[in-house]
Copies of this chain bind each other. A is one copy, B any other.
Amino acid sequence: MRKLIRRASRKAGLAPGTLVHVGERKAEKPRITIIDYDAENFQEREADSVKQCHASRHTSTVTWINVSGLHDVSLIEELGECFGIHSLVLEDILNTSQRPKLEEYEDHMFIVLRMLYQHSEDGEVEAEQLALVVGDNFVLSFQERAQDVFEGVRGRLRTSRRRIRERGADYLAYALLDAVVDAYFLVLESLGEMIESLEDDLLHDPSVATLNAVHGLKRELIFLRRSVWPLREVISLLARGERGAFSDETLIYLRDVYDHTIQVIDTIESYRDLVAGMHDTYLSSLSNRMNEVMKVLTIFASIFIPLTFIAGIYGMNFQYMPELHWRWAYPGVWAAMLVLTLFMLSYFRRKKWL
């Protein structure tokens, strides 16, 4: 079950710009991957320390530095210094429970997103914060875990003669955003399947487990919604192109990402509509069942209580009860009981209870 809010207690009372990692430690050791490319050249390497980052700062190639694992605060600090990043941005990078947002500084842009992906092993959906710093010829990306949704982008970068190699850091940033949004669709797909199977369960075999599942789904959708709505704002701001950081050609692609984000939101809202109705369906199913139980009780009681009464009558010990001595009284009583039962059954059939 997703936590709706992370423990922020560690931070309360500190000065702004104080660098503290808020989040769980997900990786053993921060991993720094540096990809350096232009149309002709491509270089990919793992860096041991930030020293090597300095080198790539002032080349004409595009540099993408990805940091997985944020608990080593000093490393982030050094990187920040090297690329001239505001201390509040560094603070936000380390606080991994940010709301998606876009901030513009003089020579770089800071984007916070929430990245969703399915775990390669058990297929469970994981969410983590992705922080992007986009400069003239560099993109820095910060995440907590080693796994991400960028394998496709890396693949395209490795192959020469792909459009992505001929373009600048803005196109790379777009490609990363696109990969993040594309991954939402996969999550939505699996939620869609869950909704369909739950709807089936609700109508035909509702149980407390179903109610639990509906609840979990609601929660997941609330969580998703909180990730996507601000993402839409971020991408809308970027796609409007008022910030100079993106070239006109890349803007066309960004508008495509924007369309996808809208589609994600549309789908989430539709899902919410569907899930909102599920509780009502559950209650209806419960009521239906209760009705069924009550009918069984009522039918049994209404048939046998009068019969028992009749039997009780002739169990009385009055001295003067002429029927007791009649020859055919006993079979007569049986006959009367049979007639009564048949009458009751036909009555319930007419009421459509049977």
Name A's B-contacting residues (CB within 8 A).
1, 3-5, 7-9, 11-17, 86, 88, 92, 98-99, 101, 103, 151-152, 155-156, 162-164, 175, 178-179, 182-183, 185-186, 188-189, 192, 195-196, 199, 203, 208, 211-212, 215, 218-219, 222-223, 226, 252-253, 255-256, 259, 262-263, 266-267, 270-271, 273-274, 277, 279-284, 286-291, 293-298, 300-302, 304-309, 311-321, 323-330, 333, 353
Contacts and interface: CB of A to CB of B under 8 A. Distances in A.
Contacts of A186: 8-9, 12
B314 A263 contact: no
Most chain B beta-carbon contacts within 10 A, residue among A15, A103, A223: A15
Given A294-B297, A317-B317, A15 B226 contact: no
Nearest to A280: B279
Given A289-B291, A314-B318, A203 B192 contact: no
A301 B353 CA distance: 18
Contact of A301 (B151, B301, B316, B321): B301
B289 A286 contact: no
Nearest to A199: B215
Given A4-B271, A308-B308, A308-B309, 6 more contacts: A1-B196, A15-B164, A211-B284, A226-B270, A315-B316, A318-B324
A326 B318 CA distance: 8
A273 to B, nearest CB: 5
A222 B294 contact: no
Contacts of A5: 185, 188-189, 192, 267
A224 B102 CA distance: 27
A239 B104 CA distance: 15
Contact of A312 (B88, B162, B315): B315
Given A192-B4, A327-B320, A263 B215 contact: no
A279 B277 CA distance: 9
Contacts of A294: 290, 293-294, 297-298
Contacts of A155: 13
Most chain B beta-carbon contacts within 10 A, residue among A4, A99, A252: A4
A287 B286 contact: yes
Contacts of A192: 3-5
B319 A317 contact: no
A209 to B, nearest CB: 10
A163 B87 CA distance: 12
16 contacts: A8-B182, A12-B186, A16-B178, A98-B263, A203-B208, A203-B212, A215-B281, A219-B274, A279-B284, A286-B291, A297-B301, A297-B302, A301-B305, A308-B308, A311-B316, A312-B315
Contact of A253 (B88, B101, B189): B88
A220 to B, nearest CB: 12
Contact of A315 (B86, B98, B317, B320): B317
Contacts of A326: 318-320
A128 to B, nearest CB: 17
A230 to B, nearest CB: 8
